[in-house]
Structure 1
Amino acid sequence: MYNISSLSALLLALLSIVSAYRPVQFVKHTGESGRADQAFSLVNYYNETTQQSDLYVRMWAFRYASSAKGWASLALGPQMKGALMFITYGDPASNTLTLTVRTVDGHHPPRPIPEMKDFYSGEVPTVDVVSTRFEEYTGQFYQEKLQAKPSHLGVAEFIVRGYDKWTACELGVHNDTTKQSMIWSSNFKQDFGGDFSAERGIDMHQFGLGFGFLWADLKNALSPVAFFGPINDMESHKGVNEIGDPLVPTTEELDAGENLISQHKDALGGGSTSDSDKSTSDSDKEVSDGTDKSGADNGSKVEEPVKTVKQFNIRSLMWHIHGFLMTLSFLVLYPLGVYFLRSPRATAFNLHWTINSLSSVSVSVGALIGFVNSRSISIWHQYLGILIICALAVQTVLGWRHHVIYISPHGGRRTWMGAVHVWLGRVVLPMAMLNVASGLLLRQYGWLTVSLTVALAAVELIVLTLVVGRARTRRPAATQKAVPIGADEAEEYFQLAGDDDDEFSDSDAEGAAGDGERVNKNAEREEQAKRLAKLDKV
């Protein structure tokens, strides 16, 4: 008596005999708004040895002028959530092409499947990477938008073994349907900066032309022999439709499919399905392992990033720490330091420099982590970050020197260092907040997180502007009576917020305590000046 698996195997075996094979390919050069430039072919093969359906996928990504920018992807599923995604990116110059398999729990950047255990814990198909490479393009296609022919093809050939086991996507994945839901997307602008690791974050696809839906006829893509289907990039889709169910196979398509089957059977010696399965599996293993039957390297050895992605990655953790420290500094501590400087507290200046010192330590540690963790300095987030760090170093020196001069016995006057410190701070803080948001985007945080961060930064800048405005209107009655400036007025300034444009001036100091109290404090001020002079030498 047959069990369910045996009946299923028999049914599929019979189906492979009576069904005619029709080649399935998707070619997309131009979307509604411009480039798409990717293609793929599918062959559905039932493996009698493992009694499961395997999908043989060949993916192409067209590159121009040997560009190392961008990525291309294909996915099984009707939408991003739960889709089984295959993404390629790399550099033609070094012949480095990475294939990574990912999924996602919503509409945000996908991550390698081992990182998505909280979202999906079901069966995961095994993906055998047979070949990933770049080839020089020798076809006839000419991209009118770019006025050029492609220079290279990024070619990935892989086998998704038991692909119908994947159940994370809506409607599931089926090996006998004429309308399997799939999606595709691309981005030809992302600069990977030389980091083509399997867990590398990817930027969002391009708008308008950078993504689309399609339906594939897998039932008529069933072949009695296993092979990677051909792609003719000068022809339209076959067995695939972007707006609905695929069309019924034509006589011409069926004839082409019969010729392909005959050619592959002849190449395998005309063996049975089982023999063909065994021969093809041995051939695939030889290419996938990168070794010949004697075990020697045949020169085609490639990495299999899908199988080597780790759930815990120390480099990824360090990036999160980097982002946390920068976010804490620029969205919490530095704004708090500005607020306290402009507040009417008696310890305003002490709170200001204490909080800013803690912020600077946090930024320094975060910057060190970012520098050590970066494989190269190549993107504008890094360039802006370096510029901000340099500006903060200048800020520290200017603020300290102005403070020393201002409270010295012969000080109490405005300095150019004070003015530069004020205006440099007004430029650096918003730019740093912007860089925090760009870092969140690079680390693939969701749009909700990034939007909330930008909103918080905007609110903080508005509040600080209002606080500064109130501090200006709070200027004491210094304009009513001119008072000689001494060290005590200077010290009072550094404890009370001042005018918006005269933060490092003497206007607010003139409203301090009376002359008698100043005389009593002179000794203390002079002692403080001496201590600062000693620290200044350090």
Structure 2
Amino acid sequence: MRSPLSAATLLSPLFALRSALAEPVQYCRPGFNQGEADFCIGISRTVNASTKATDVFFSMTVSRSSAHGWTAIGTGAEMAGSTMFIVYGDPISGSDPVLSIRTIDGHHQPKALDLSTLPGLRVVRSKWQKLPVAALGPRHEDEPNYPIVPTSPASHIADIALACYGCPLQAWKLDINSKSQPFIWAWNDRQEFDSYSVDAHLAMHRHHAGSGGFGSFYVDMPQTLSDSPEPPAIRQGAANFGTSDPPTGFSGFLISLRARPLPKAHGFLMGVAFIVLFPLGVVLMRTPSGNPFKRHWMVQAAATGLTWLGAVAGAVMTGGRAPRTFHQWIGAMIALTLGAQVVLGWRHHMVFLRVRHRTWVSHAHIWIGRAVLGAGWVNVLTGLVMSGYGSFGIAVIGGLVVVEAVGVGLWVWVAQQRAKGKTAPGQTEAHALMATGSEGTEDYFAIDMSDDEFDTDVEDDKGRRSGPKRSVELRERKA
């Protein structure tokens, strides 16, 4: 009979091989030499033999060449409720880097946690490591062993290790069973600190997402299970393992869908308004069939409503602060200008019914509308950039905008040419642009409201009348 001891002896090489091949879960963004965020994080966890609680370990490295700025990594899919590890300090001061652990209840300044109230939290290591400058830049194609030193290479790495014994997983928004556990990160490379206290005020991160200022990544938490009760070692230059930029699996898709709902709602509302509805409203106004005006104002009203809802979502996202970025300023001006457009459109309608030709109000409404549409297209693209969409996705949407702009412009031009060919003597082009045939201008401008609202005469100071009734009388006299 084979003894258990001999079986264990036979299997021990396999366990040793498994341990040797095991790789610690880590995520890195090596972007320093491209002027981008540069950090790594390693994550592991063990089950405490005595308490049966989960102990979670983090290792972080952050590349630096000056005392400016900070780098943060946080748990969860959004800032609200996230536990954030924020690293800053002066690498040549002789003082260790600062690890400030903070949280936040919304889009505000994160508040430092009092570590004395968190007995299971330990900063295991926090120190600067000086880098050999010659080991950094890209290698020359003809001389692969000769490194080319960048203009401003990283000079130091902040080496951080953190242990959370009996980690409050739910409070930290950590799900050890999730194969797509979300983490967020943010980066500022310009702030000059007055002091390096753990509760120092933080300037806002860069506004562009992705590599520019903030982003997210996902961790396969089941792979973080380890036998070692120590923070994992970061392998600089090694491939990421157990992590990804996009979420994986159906659960990851649901997580990404729920993450940051306000930005997603803001982008969706603005995209539908400016990519679909506003251009459609322009096309419908120049379609010589049915009731173009009715369709035009209904579609444009829906687009305006979506834009205002999107603007409210954007204002809530920023905590009601005044605009700071180009995207925010353009968005605010669009939202305000649309209010004027509503008034101008109504006045254009009322005045045209009286005078039967375009006035300055009409031209103002048309050209402001074109400017708003163009600005909206630009802002959709800048919003995609700020939200961290890839270059391919932005290029696709940009191409769609170009095709749409050319198509709408050609549609308007063809309608104008068609109108010029139908313009009768004494008639303005505006009349010819309207529906022809059995429908008159009253039918063209019907908006499903009581005709009494528009079936009124207006007398000038000489007693002359204009308006729908006056037009009817003139037609009756000619008959």
Alignment of 1:291-302 (within 5 A): none
2:454 corresponds in structure 1 to: 529
Paired with 1:29 and 1:336, the residues of 2 have a C-alpha distance of: 42
Residue among 191, 206, 210 paired with 1:204: 210
Partner of 1:331: 275
Q: Aligned pair in 2 of structure 1 residues 49, 473: CA closer, same or farther (>3 Å)?
A: same
Which AA in structure 2 matches 1:464? V
- Deviation sequence 1:461-482 (CA, Å, 0-9, x none): 2211111111011115565522
Unpaired segments of 5 or more residues in structure 1?
17-25, 74-86, 101-127, 170-184, 207-222, 232-238, 244-309, 486-498, 500-504, 534-538
Alpha carbons of 1:362 and 1:145: their partners in 2 closer, same or farther (altered >3 Å)? same
Q: Which of 390, 398, 402 is 2:336 aligned to?
A: 390
- Report Cα offsets for 1:409-466 as digits up to 9, x if no partner: xx23432222222222222213212322333444445555444333332222221111
Q: Report the CA distance shift for 1:466/1:141 in structure 2 as closer, same or farther (over 3 A).
A: same
Match status 1:350 vs 2:294 = yes
SS at match of 1:336: helix
Alignment partner, residue 59 of structure 2: 57
Counterpart residue type for residue 161 of structure 2: E
CA RMSD in angstroms, aligned pairs only: 6.2
Q: Deviations over 1:3-26 (max 9, x none)?
A: 8699759976xx99xxxxxxxxx9
Classify the secondary structure of the residue corresponding to 2:414. Answer: helix
SS in structure 2 opposite 1:378?
Answer: coil
Q: Does the CA-based 8 Å contact 2:44-2:56 persist in structure 1?
A: yes
Aligned runs of 1:285-296 on 2, under 5 Å?
none
Matched residue SS, 2:426: coil
Partner of 1:412: 356
Q: CA deviation at 1:339?
A: 0.6
Question: 2: CA distance between counterparts of 1:374 and 1:525?
Answer: 43
Does residue 67 of the first structure (1) align with residue 69 of the second (2)? yes
C-alpha distance in structure 1 between counterparts of 2:457 and 2:272, whole Å: 30
Shift of 1:343: 0.8
Q: What secondary structure is seen at the aligned counterpart in 2 of 1:407?
A: helix
- CA change 1:357–1:132 in 2 (3 A) is farther
Deviation readout 1:70-103 (Å, 9 max, x if unpaired): 7799xxxxxxxxxxxxx9767779x785799xxx
Change (3 A) 1:431 1:62: same
Q: Which residue number corresponds to residue 107 of structure 1?
A: none
Q: Give the TM-score of the pair, scaled to structure 2.
A: 0.51
Percent of paired sites with the same residue:
20
What aligned pairs does 1:179-258 form with structure 2 within 5 A after superposition? 203-205=209-211
Letter matched to residue 263 of structure 2: W
CA distance in 1, matches of 2:304, 2:265: 16
* Cα distance in 2, alignment partners of residues 434 and 415 from structure 1: 29
Pairing 1:123-522 to 2, within 5 Å after superposition: 130-131=122-123, 156-158=160-162, 203-205=209-211, 311=255, 316-375=260-319, 376=321, 377-408=323-354, 411-445=355-389, 449-475=393-419, 480-483=424-427, 505=430, 508=433
* Cα distance change, pair 525–204 in 1 and its aligned pair in 2 (3 A): closer
Local SS of the residue matching 2:306:
helix
1:405 Cα deviation from its structure 2 partner: 1.8
How far, CA to CA, are the matches of 2:379 and 2:393 in structure 1?
14
**1:272-291 per-position Cα deviation (integer Å, ceiling 9, x unaligned):** xxxxxxxxxxxxxxxxxxxx
Q: Is the 8 A contact 2:289 2:435 kept in 1?
A: no
Map of 1:260 onto structure 2: none
Contact 1:36 1:186 in 2 (8 A): no
Report the secondary structure of 1:205's partner residue: coil
| Partners of 1:334 and 1:356 within 8 A in 2 | yes
CA distance in 1, matches of 2:204, 2:10: 46
1:201 and 1:442 in contact (8 A); partners too: yes
CA deviation after TM superposition for structure 1 residue 203, in Å = 2.7
**Contact kept in structure 1, 2:42 and 2:59, CA below 8 Å:** yes
Q: Secondary structure at the match of 1:370?
A: helix
Q: 2: CA distance between counterparts of 1:434 and 1:149?
A: 36
Amino acid at match of 1:473: Q
Deviation at 1:314, TM superposition (A): 6.8
